[in-house]
Structure 1
Amino acid sequence: SYSIGFTQTYAAPEVLIFNVERTKAHKLLWACAHVLKDGGMLTPDAKDDRILNNDYQVIFKTLRVSAYGEYLGTARRYYGSKPFPAVVMFLPDREDRYPWEAGYDYIDVAEALSIV
């Protein structure tokens, strides 16, 4: 799942979420929209405690431009020739580890890691 319109509306990156059930992914994107609406920003490579409950923090990683064609087709049509940034949201496991850390045990995000 991913957002469309964050760049146009909030001057923020579009957000992609991998391997999370659609309803939950949309709730996470809605939480991002609320952060942006309130004047916040989504900063790549920094822990962000405004999206999840229970003191868990997400981390956004910048999507490689070379992946836009395969992963952001609808957003590319929406923006046309205008450039737009995009990030991938990564969720921690129950032990607060991220996919690039040893012992991570939550969602399979190997595909997402390969495009950031």
Structure 2
Amino acid sequence: EANAYRDYLELHGLSVQLAEALAEYWHARVRAELGIAGGDPSDLDAMFRTEYQGCRYSLGYPACPDLEDRAKIADLLQPERIGVHLSEEFQLHPEQSTDAIVIHHPEASYFNAGGRS
């Protein structure tokens, strides 16, 4: 209504990045609590290449493309308890909500072709 599209886009971009950063923080914390974070690389590029034990799979990305699987997670976790709802299109609301499946097996990877990626 105020024609402040730039403000909206900047706030939206910030909220997307903060949601991703928080998800990555919790993934790192779980690895630490499981005692497997000692092998985490100190190099940022190596972290981006997931050269650590465990993977965080998010639905809708190439490793888990079927968004309908989110309904199974919602049945287990009941996100409405904390005010998060699943739409008919299998999107989480509020908009910057996120979910993931976290696997910490040493052989967990995003794609099998060519090793870890």
- Judging by fraction of residues, say which structure has more strand: 1
Common fold: TM-score over 0.5:
no
Q: What is the TM-score normalised by the length of structure 2?
A: 0.34
Larger radius of gyration: 2
